[in-house]
Amino acid sequence: MNKKQKKVLYRILATVAIIAVYKLIPVSEESLIGAFLYLIPYLLIGYDVLLKALKGIKNRQVFDENFLMAVATVGAYGLKDYLEAVAVMLFYQIGELFQSYAVGKSRKSISELMDIRPDYANIEADGQLRQVDPYDVQVGQTIIINPGERVPLDGIVIKGSSSLSTAALTGESKPRDVSEGDEIVSGCINNEGVLYVQTTKAFEDSTVAKILDLVENASSLKSKSENFISRFAHYYTPAVCFGALALFLLPALYNILKGQPADWSVWLYRALSFLVISCPCALVISIPLSFFAGLGGASRQGILIKGSNYLETLSQVKCVVFDKTGTITKGVFEVSGVHHCPIDRDEMLEYAALAESHSSHPIAKSIRNAVSRPLDESRVSDIKEFPGHGVIAIVDGRQVAVGNGMLMDQLDVEYINCQDDVGTVIHVAVDWQYCGHLVIADIIKENARQAIGKLHDLGVSSTIMLTGDEERVARSVADEVSIKEYRASLLPQQKVEEVEKILGNAKGKVAFVGDGINDAPVLTRTDIGIAMGAMGSDAAIEAADVVLMDDDLLKIAKSVKISRKCLRIVYENIIFAIGVKLICLVLGALGITNMWAAIFADVGVMVIAVLNAIRALFVREN
């Protein structure tokens, strides 16, 4: 409990003590002395509400909960219901204290889970370790990370080996082993050995900074439900104020016209009770809190959702489109075969590897890894990449083309299709002469089939795979993971065109799942873009609406589950709060409930709604 909450608690306790003393003396509410004495606890417990109401009137923002409480309690005091006026303000403050405490606890819980900001970085100066602010560390500088310390900046291990806890980033408890040459990202915790790391990014560009920025700004992107509640409260509060005024004036005037007593005090009391009941704080607080808790619950699982609007959209997904490489498959390629090669096998592999020496594509890396000896990149010149087709380069003065059948067709080179192995076929031509093809095999992720099944269990009616691979490879992967629809041999721009067609025919929201690096155009085009395995990927964090911090396909279904639970809680709170309010408003207008019951109803509804909202912070693992 913070200082502000403690102060309110002390005021509540002091007010209760004063009222208890007045009851023991006892103090008459009918006398002028009683009016003065009850003013002391009333101002003690409600002075801040009265000041806020006056400030709202001064700033021409009259209609809020402080105004409603002020009018209701001042009116009750004017009717000489001093104890009731104090009690209404007292219970209102109790409700506000509970709400503040509950919201603070949920925020603290989320902050602790996402407390990945490093406090310092160790650098070596004059033979001694010195702690400095991570902001002051330059790119390329060496930092030292001791066991138990948090990795402060992204970098490459240049000395040492250890295991890293990535739980704060991915939600997974399994540690990750790292050694010399491995890339590591900020936010992880070093479990074992001392690591010497050469930084590759400044702190403001690091993984931890981008994640913290994403989480901190998520609440600024409001969902339709939150915007609805804001609009609703904007019109609702003035409406009930005028409704209360009408409840006070119309029945009394009607009685006068009928020649009966006006009963001004009776109708004023009912109008004041009406104002207390109508306070919309249960909705105004619980709906944003539900989304905030949902975003926090997702963060605990290593799922970063950029805003409440994306959380709401995610709950409506009926079609999920997958990229193949790096998403359904691991993106870890190996050369599994060299076929129809008229020249020396190692020579052909070396030509292909040199032509692909500057490419970051996983297939290019696999070709380079297949060559046992070091590659001399000075032998390569005039590299030209053809997206979706391949690459042409000059190696040792000879033109080397490495790519798919479309590249060979473009060069008018006759090629032989592979009939034996399932994998990506990469053809090689040297000086326009066909030199055979490589078969590149990718590994399907172990839980891919299970992840697709869980999506179908959640009511996702359609799963589609897009790939640049040929039909034979695409069919094999789709069959293995139980995806019924797929599109093969797609160029990058054709993936966007296919997504456009899918969006046009879809009956619900469409999500695209990709690796976040090569799929940015598609990630930004669909209703919701989900980036896989994005720990340390700037492109993923920038392009996607939802960022999964590891390669676990099961988290796609989990993110949908979290979003639907959150939206269910939001709708429960809306229906419950409005329903109870309407019932109590009718009962108050008919004089069946008094102001005590009104404040109990208001505070009770708020407490239940806030408790229900906090449920969104937690999701079952199954």
Contacts of 527 (CB under 8 A, 6+ apart): 313, 317, 503, 509, 510, 511
CA nearest neighbour of 305 among 476, 92, 544: 544
Phi, psi torsion values for 310, nearest 5 degrees: -75, -35
Which amino acid makes up residue 485?
E
**For residue 45, what are its two tokens?**
């417990």
Is 323 annotated as catalytic?
Answer: yes
Contacts of 199 (CB under 8 A, 6+ apart): 137, 138, 139, 140, 141, 142, 143, 153, 154, 155
C-beta of residue 380 within 8 angstroms of C-beta of residue 393: yes
What does the DSSP assignment read for 110-144?
HHHHT----S-EEEEETTEEEEE-GGGPPTT-EEE
What are phi and psi for residue 92, nearest 5 degrees?
Answer: -60, -45
Give the alpha-carbon dihedral of 326, 330, 333, 336, to 10 degrees.
Answer: -130
* Token duo for residue 372: 């046992």
Strand partners, 198: 142, 156
Rounded Cα gap, residues 377 and 381, in angstroms: 9
Contacts of residue 395, Cβ cutoff 8 Å, sequence gap at least 6: 351, 354, 355, 379, 380
**Separation CA 588–CA 620 (nearest Å):** 41
Q: Which of 64, 154, 323, 527 is catalytic?
A: 323
* Residue closest to 311 by CA, chosen among 224, 411, 198: 224
- Here the tokens at position 113 are 């889970």
Residues with catalytic function: 323
